[in-house]
Amino acid sequence: MSIEPKLIPILIVALITWGGIFLYLLRVDILTRKVQKELDQRLENKEPRA
Amino acid sequence: MPQAAGLNTSNIMYFHVPMAISMEVAFLMAAWHGVRYLQTRRMEHDAQSVAFAEVGLAFGIIATITGAIWAKLNWGAYWSWDPQQIGIVAVLLTYFALFALRGATEDDEKTRSAWAVYAIFGIVAAIFWTFIFRRLPQLATLHPPAVLIDSSPIFKVALWTNVAGFAMVMIKAALLRGRVQVAQEKLKENAYVD
């Protein structure tokens, strides 16, 4: 299957749009992992309840 | 809708317009949460305000890039300092500056109150630069004036559906980002407790 040249601009735009949204969600995921890591560390350091 | 010869450039509108509208909605939500923070002093509103502004900025960058591609195909250049292009750059720079200001202060309570004011200022600036500036009588824009209202019914249905869909993605992304921000703030507040 070959891509018609006239479709290339819309393909680029679609990739930029969805790629951009994906990258943003990836940023949120990275921040979430940081929070999770911090939480795990605190739980490890905490004394178990008697 | 102007059409470049042999290219389906109007299809770009299905991506560019929803991104731009979602950006405006995100900045509006950021301001609304800013107002709610000033009323209630609840940290959750501050977090949500920051989250909506951040997502709005991301969507604004995508709208600018996709708009530049559309401009290249229809106007012959990616960037020609059209009033609409000047307007979007001013909006993006405004929000970059607001985030820099937020990052520059240490005190959390003061930072949050100041941010609420920034968010309200931000939406006023965004409305001016994206809706009013290009309509000033001294300026002539090539930007299509009312794609969402004046287009053919079939185009409008598809366009509005995309606007709704991308706006929902934007809202969900901002809600997720807000929750992470709340978790970060709570961890910071309890850093030396146990």
Domain locations along chain B: 10-189
Instruction: Point out the residue among A7, A17, A21 whose CB comes nearest to the CB of B66.
Output: A17
Asked if this assembly's ipTM is beyond 0.95, the reply is no
More confident residue, B146 or B50: B50
* Interface touch B8/A6, C-beta < 8 Å: yes
Q: Mind listing the pLDDT tens digit for each residue in B28-45?
A: 999 999 999 999 999 999
Write out chain A residues lying below 8 Å of B158, CB-based: none
- Reported as a single tens digit per residue, the pLDDT across B76-98 is 899 999 899 999 999 999 999 99
Low-confidence ranges of chain A (pLDDT < 70): 1, 47-50
The pLDDT score that the predictor gives to residue B16 is: 94
From B7, B169, B176, residue closest to A9, measured CB to CB: B7
From chain B, the residues in CB contact with A42 under 8 A are 187, 194
Q: Is residue A21 part of a domain?
A: yes
Q: Most A CBs within 10 Å: which of B9, B66, B194, as the mutation test of the A interface?
A: B66
Number of separate domains in chain A: 1
Using alpha carbons only, what angle is made at residue B136 by residues B132 and B139, rounded to the nearest 5 degrees?
125
Chain B residue whose CA is closest to A38 = B187
Give the whole-angstrom CA distance, residue B86 versus residue B146. 18
Tell me whether residues A21 and B11 touch, CB distance under 8 A.
no
**Closest Cα partner for B125 from B175, B181, B53, B58?**
B53
Read off the tokens for B41.
Answer: 């002093």
Q: What angle do CA B12, B10, A9 make, to 5 degrees?
A: 45
B6 touches chain A (CB under 8 A): yes
Tokens for B83, please give them. Answer: 């009033």
Contacts made by residues B178-181, CB under 8 angstroms, sequence distance 24+: B178/B44, B178/B47, B178/B48, B178/B50, B178/B51, B178/B52, B179/B47, B180/A28, B180/A31, B180/A32, B180/A35, B181/B47, B181/B48, B181/B50, B181/B51
Do the Cβ atoms of B151 and B159 come closer than 8 Å?
A: yes
Query: Residue B115 in contact with residue B102, Cβ under 8 Å?
Result: yes
Place B7 in a pLDDT band, splitting at 50, 70 and 90.
low
Residue A41: inside a domain: no
CB-CB neighbors (< 8 A) of B194 in chain A: 42, 46
* Contact residues on chain A for B55, CB-CB shorter than 8 A: 24
Pick the residue from chain A with its C-alpha nearest to B182: A35
Q: Is residue A48 part of a domain?
A: no
The answer to the question of residue A6 being in a domain is yes
Q: Do B15 and A17 touch (CB under 8 A)?
A: yes
Which residues of chain A are within 8 Å of residue B184 when distances are taken between CB atoms? 31, 34-35
For residue A24, the enclosing domain spans 1-33
Annotate A6-23 with b (16+ C-beta within 10 A) or e (fewer).
eeebbeebbebbeebbee
What pTM did the predictor assign? 0.89
